[in-house]
Amino acid sequence: MGAVTDAFDVLVLGAGSGGYACALRAAQLGLTVGLIEKGKVGGTCLHVGCIPTKALLHAAEVADAARDAGRFGVRARLDGIDMPAVNGYKDGVVSRLFKGLTGLITGRGITVIEGSGTLVGPRQVAVGDQTYAGRHLVLATGSYAKSLPGLEIDGERILTSEHALALDRVPASVVVLGGGVIGCEFASVWRSFGAEVTIIEALPRLLAAEDETSSKAVERAFRKRGIRSLTATLFQSVTPTETGVAVATEGGETVEAELLLVAVGRGPVTDGLGLEEQGVALDRGYITIDDRARTGVEGVYAVGDAASTGERPGLQLAHRGFAQGIFVAEEIAGLAPTPIDEAGIPRVTYSHPEVASVGLTEAAARATYGEVETVVYDLGGNGKSQILQTQGFVKLIRAADGPVVGIHLVGDRVGELIGEAQLIYGWEAVPDDVAPLVHAHPTQNEAVGEAFLALAGKPLHAHR
């Protein structure tokens, strides 16, 4: 171990959403910050996750709009998908955001340390032949795309989401292994681009972490779009063919396709970093933290995808890591911020249709509160949804005679509505708190208001 060359108030290992947010906020609060990153600042979300995938999803929305233009009286046609041009658009979005982020980091006086870091002492990290120290150490090491035993990712026929983002063509057919957020989003993109898509999911339904009503709505919409879903189906093996791969299930069915996308989740990046040697506790590879993001080792915190606060790993969402990073910076600065409510973190799947939620599912609410009350408002009664020609709903879940504990939405662009839903959940509102609020007409946001009118016992356009 080399001599300590620099000491910072805050030393951050990993410059993804959680790490750079912590660094920016800490610097803003007058602390000296060292930010260690082996790749590019911005991490998975900016470069191979949230931003590029959502750019692809927007291109897919444009393709659908062109294909369906006749429904709106517009004469247009879809001549095809120019993937190099789509990738150019996607990469341009990433490049502009990356440039902006690096400018912010430089402007805040943050020291960026390039290379892989390993813990070598109390709040000390070695990068190459140099060692850096911090009065406080924040672990923001992120996650990686997982595979299954015996399934080798070759980047050509068998892909992770990172490989899929770099494809220079639209595959004729794809098998997506995994029906979670990543699997459903890529299935949606490729179907919009014209590929034949089959999803294989081991659990009984797609998007199994969402409310069952939302899952069923997505499955119906996918069937209507021609996306085949094999749920409660276990993967058995994959065999190369002349044109791609043959994917066998334990149920005896074999699906042939040009490509196999492995989207079975993401694992924590914690191996080989010297964490346990320095006393940082791991549970199934995840860094164990309390509700104040502390690891149990004095002065050492963890945020983002690699950090877990309970029996199940935390949500692997960029905005969770972002919020945790800000929280830790303020905690270190002595501002005593309010702990983050994990259930209050909004969740959005940007497929067609979108799925958005905050709070508890109906099943979780019944397990927690026993008796609950629910209202489902169909977007068929919403003027803007009719204009957009989208189907879906707003579902509210209320603890008996108490606050609303879960809000679930399905439909195109409903992700843009989750902000109000988060505020409603966060202030523990009862229906009468929300029902009087005036929503602009015509907007999809009205659907939230209509649902609360119904839950308050005075439905306007909804039936109870």
The helix (H) or strand (E) run that includes residue 61 is: helix 50-67
Respond yes or no on whether the N-terminal peptide bond of residue 442 is cis (omega within 30° of 0).
Answer: yes
Residue 47 falls in the annotated catalytic set: no
- Report DSSP letters for 370-408, one per residue: SSEEEEEEEGGG-HHHHHHT---EEEEEEETTS-EEEEE
Q: Check: CB of residue 125 under 8 Å from CB of residue 132.
A: yes
Q: Are residues 316 and 306 in contact, defined by beta-carbon separation less than 8 angstroms? A: no
DSSP-H helix ranges across 122-269? 161-165, 181-192, 212-225
Instruction: Check whether the bond before 353 is cis (ω within 30° of 0).
Output: yes
Structure tokens at 118: 């390993």
**Sign for the pseudo-dihedral over CA of 250, 253, 259, 265:** negative
Tokens at residue 253, please? 């069915």
The residue count for the chain: 464
CB of 198 closer than 8 Å to CB of 235:
no
How many separate helices (H) and strands (E) can be counted in the chain? 13, 25
- Coil, strand, or helix at residue 36? strand
Choose, from 319, 441, 461, 463, the residue flagged as catalytic: 441
Pairing of strands 4-13, 130-139: parallel
Q: Give CA–CA dist 141/135, Å, rounded.
A: 19
Q: Residue 335 has what DSSP assignment?
A: -
* 57-80 CB burial, b ≥16 within 10 A, e <16: bbbbbebbeeeeeeeeeeeeebee
Contact 170/190 with Cβ under 8 angstroms? yes
Q: Give me 444's structure tokens.
A: 């999809």
SS3 for 323? Answer: helix
CB 379 within 8 A of CB 394: yes
CA–CA separation, 286 and 142 (whole Å)? 10
Which residue's structure tokens are 């204009």? 387
Catalytic sites, residue numbers: 441
